Structure 1
Amino acid sequence: MNKKLLLLFCILASFSGFSQHSPITENTKVSILTVDVADESHTLYGHTALRIQDPVTHFDAIYNYGMFDFRTENFILKFVKGDLQYYAASYPYADFEYSYQVENRSVYEQVLNISLAEKQEIYEKLHTSMYSDERFYTYKFIDRNCTTKVIDVVNSVLKGKPIKNTLHKTESYRNVLFPYANHHYYMQLGINIIFGERVDHQAETLFLPLDLMNVLKNTSYKNKPLVTQTTTNFKANRTEAFSFLDSIYSLIAVLLVVILLNKKATNVLYFSLLGSIGLLFSMIGMYSYHRELLWNYNVLLFNPLFLPLAFFILRNNTKWIKKICWASLFLLGGYLIYMFSKVHLIIVLPLIIATGIQLARLLLKKDR
C-alpha cells in the first residue's frame, strides 16, 4: 500500500513539475510542427502544433490546439451546429510524436528564428492559456482551427504579424481542399455536397497545416528568414492503393443498375434517398452556425421535392408526377449550368445524368 502511495506521489510530482513555469534560456527552440495527412475524415487535412524545447532545462513540450472529447454530450449535434468546444493541451513532445508514428503520419518541424524575449513571451502566452478558460474555443473549419490558433499565437508576439497567406490568390477554398481527398471518392463527394456557397470564395484565410508549412518556408522577419531549420522528425511510409468500392466507378455501377432496371421500386428508393439527403442539407443550413454549410446549392441536385415525387410514384398519381418532374428538371438544369465552373462537377456528374434520365422517363411515360 505504501509503495502504491509513493508511486502515485511521484507521478503527481512529475506532472506538477512539468506543468509549472519553466525558464526560457538562450538555447530554447520554438518550433511549429506539421503533421501530414491520413485517411480518416478528421486526419484528412493534417495537423499543426507548437513545440518549445530547451536542452538545458530539459523542457520539451507540445502545445496542441486540436483537442476534442468524443464523450461530450450531444457530440455530433454540437459538431454539426458549430458550437463544439475544442481545447488546447500541453504534454511531452515524445508522446506527441509517438502517437503519429502509430498512425503512420509524417511529422515536420520548423524552428523559428526569433529573439529570447519573443520566445519568453510566446511561452508565457501558451502557459497562461493552458491553465485558464482561454484553452477552450469554438471550432470553425476555416476560421478557427489548430492552424489558425497557432498563427494567432505567433503573430500576436512578432511585430508586424509576419505570417500571412501568400498562397492560392486565384483559387477558392473548394479548389484548395479538393485534392486532399483524391483517393477517397465518397469522402470527397460527401465533403463537396455538404459544403455550400462560402467555400467557393477566394481562399484568403491560411487554415491548412501543409499550406502553413509552405508559407513559413518563404516568410521573412526582421529581414531574415523566419524559419532557421526545417527537419523531418518522422517519415511515414504510406502507399495509396486503388479501391473500386471507393471510386466513382462503383457509383456509376449502382446508377446503371437503377437506370437499366427502371422499376417502380428502384425509382421510389432512388428519389427517396436523394430527397432525404437534400432535406437533411436544408435542415443543417437552418440549424448550423458553420458558414461553410449555409446556402447549399447542392440541394438542387439532392432535391427535397423528390420525397413527394417518390410518394406520388407509389400512388401512381401521373398528374403530380409530371408537375414535380418538370420543376425538378428545370432546377437540375440550372444546377448543371451553375456547376460548369466548379471543381466538383466531375464527381457529381454521374448523379446529374442518372437523375435527369429518370426524371425524363417519368415525364415521357404514357398515362394509364
Structure 2
Amino acid sequence: MKKVYLLFVFFCIQNILAQANPDDTIQVSVLTVGVADESHSLYGHTAIRIKDDFRGIDRVYNYGMFDFRTPNFILRFIKGDMQYFAGAYPYADFEDNYHYENRSIYEQTLDLSTYKKLALITELEKSISGDDKFYTYKFIDRNCTTKVADVINDVLQKEVVYKHDVSDLTYREVLYPYAENQFFQKLGINLIFGAKTDQQATKIFLPFDLKNNLAHTEYKDKPLVSETKTLFEATRIPQKVWWDSMYTLLFFLTLIVVINNSVVTHSYFILIGILGIFFCLVGFYSFHKEIAWNYNVLLFNPVLLLVAYFRATHKRTAFMWSSFIALASLVIYLLYMINKVHLVIVWPFMVANAVLLIRGLILYLGREKQRK
C-alpha cells in the first residue's frame, strides 16, 4: 500500500512540474526521409519536427516546397531562379505521404534547452510567414537540407552543424552512387553538371550527409542528438528497367558504328552537336553554378555539326579541319577525364566519336584521292 501511495505522489509531482513549465515537453527533431527512384526523390529529404504532447502539437516544418503551377515552371527551374518556400503541416500528413511513397523516415531528437527550443520555433514560424518564406533554390548551396542546418546554427549562434567528415571526395563523387539503378538518369546528371561539382565536397547539402554529421555533432560538450529512431523502415525493391543500362547505350552506339551509313553518322553527329549547343547555352542562361563551365561539350561537341555539314557539301579542307578539331577535343577531354568518376559511363561516346571521325577522314580522303 505504501508503494502505491509513493507512486501516486510521484506522478502528481511530475504532473505539477509539467504544468508549471510545459515548455519542457517540447521535442525538436530532424527528420530524414529515404531515397526513391524518381528524380525529385533521388537524394532523400530533410525536415524539422516539433512535437509537444502537453499542447497537442505535432507538426513538420518543410523547406522543400514549390508550386508546379508557377508560370514557366520548367524554364525557371532550369534558369535557377525557381522560388521554393517553407511550410508547416501535421506530422501525420508527412508520415502518410512517405508511407505511400514507401520511403523510410528517420528521426534525430536534438538535446536543446527550453530557451533554444522556443527560439527555434520562433525562427521556424518566421520562415513560413515572414519575408524569408521564399528562397531561390540552389542544388548545392541552398536546399531543404542546408536550410535546416542554417536555422539550427542561427539559433545556437554558432556553426555547430557542419561537415565533420570532410574527405577528398568531390560533390560529383558524393552524388554518383545515388542513381545506381537508373543508368540514363545518372548519365544525364553527370553530363549536365559542370566544373563546380568536381570541387571538394566541403558542405553539407544532402539529407543523409546531414544525418550522419548530426550523429557526430556536439554542443556545449555533449552530443547534440540525444536519440535516434527509425519511424518507418521502407521495404524497397529497387526499380530496375531492363533497358535502363550501359548495355543499351553500347548496343545503339555499336549499331551506329557498324552500320557505317553516312546518313546515320550525320544524324548522330547532328544530335550530339545540338546537345553540345544546349550544354553551352544552358550554362550561360542558368544561375545554377553547378552546370556552368561544362567541359562535356568537348565530347558533345558543336563542331560535329560542322563535320556533318562540310562532309555532306564536299568541302574537303573545312571537313578535314573540323574533324581534326573534334578529334583534338576528344584527346583533351580524355586527359581531363582520367580521374573523373563518370569516365566509366561516358567512354562509349568517346570511342564511338573517335571511330566515326577517323573512319570518316580515311574514307573521305580516300575517295577524294581516287577522284584525282
Number of aligned residues = 346
In structure 2, distance between residues paired with 1:159 and 1:124: 14
Equivalent of residue 230 in structure 2, options 212, 232, 236: 232
In structure 1, distance between residues paired with 2:71 and 2:215: 41
Could you report, residue by residue, the CA deviation over 1:34-92 in whole angstroms, capped at 9, with x for unpaired residues? 00111111111110000000011000111000001111111111111111100000110
Q: CA 1:24–1:317 in 2, change beyond 3 Å: closer, same or farther? A: farther
In structure 1, distance between residues paired with 2:238 and 2:170: 26
- Hey, what does 2:13 align to over in structure 1? none
Could you report, residue by residue, the CA deviation over 1:267-325 in whole angstroms, capped at 9, with x for unpaired residues? 11110111011000000111111111111100000001111222223324333222211
- Within the alignment, does 1:90 sit opposite 2:91 as a pair? no
Equivalent of residue 256 in structure 1, options 254, 257, 261: 254
Shift of 1:218: 1.2
The residue type equivalent to 2:86 in the other structure is A
- Hey, what does 1:33 align to over in structure 2? 31
- Hey, what does 1:14 align to over in structure 2? none
Question: Does the CA contact (< 8 Å) of 1:38 and 1:105 recur in 2?
Answer: yes
Unpaired stretches in structure 1, ≥5 consecutive residues: 1-22
TM-score between both structures, scaled by the size of structure 1: 0.92
Shift of 1:241: 5.0
Question: Does the CA contact (< 8 Å) of 2:37 and 2:238 recur in 1?
Answer: no
Q: Secondary structure at the match of 1:225?
A: coil
Shift of 1:159: 4.1
Equivalent of residue 55 in structure 1, options 53, 56, 68: 53
The residue type equivalent to 1:271 in the other structure is F
Structure label with greater radius of gyration: 2
Shift of 1:167: 2.3
Unpaired stretches in structure 2, ≥5 consecutive residues: 1-20
- Hey, what does 2:18 align to over in structure 1? none
| Percent identity of paired positions between Structure 1 and Structure 2 | 48
The residue type equivalent to 2:233 in the other structure is K
- Hey, what does 2:350 align to over in structure 1? 352
- Hey, what does 1:206 align to over in structure 2? 204
In structure 2, distance between residues paired with 1:24 and 1:301: 63
Instruction: State the superposition RMSD in angstroms.
Output: 1.3
- Hey, what does 1:132 align to over in structure 2? 130
Q: Secondary structure at the match of 1:133?
A: coil
Query: Following superposition of structure 1 onto structure 2, how do residues 12-27 of structure 1 map, counting pairs within 5 Å?
Result: 25-27=23-25
Question: Does the CA contact (< 8 Å) of 1:271 and 1:306 recur in 2?
Answer: yes
- Hey, what does 1:9 align to over in structure 2? none
In structure 1, distance between residues paired with 2:25 and 2:55: 9
In structure 2, distance between residues paired with 1:198 and 1:81: 16
The residue type equivalent to 2:37 in the other structure is D
- Hey, what does 1:327 align to over in structure 2? 325
In structure 2, distance between residues paired with 1:33 and 1:242: 28
Q: CA 1:24–1:331 in 2, change beyond 3 Å: closer, same or farther? A: farther
TM-score between both structures, scaled by the size of structure 2: 0.91
In structure 2, distance between residues paired with 1:164 and 1:346: 32
Query: Following superposition of structure 1 onto structure 2, how do residues 270-349 of structure 1 map, counting pairs within 5 Å?
Result: 270-349=268-347
Question: Does the CA contact (< 8 Å) of 2:52 and 2:58 recur in 1?
Answer: yes
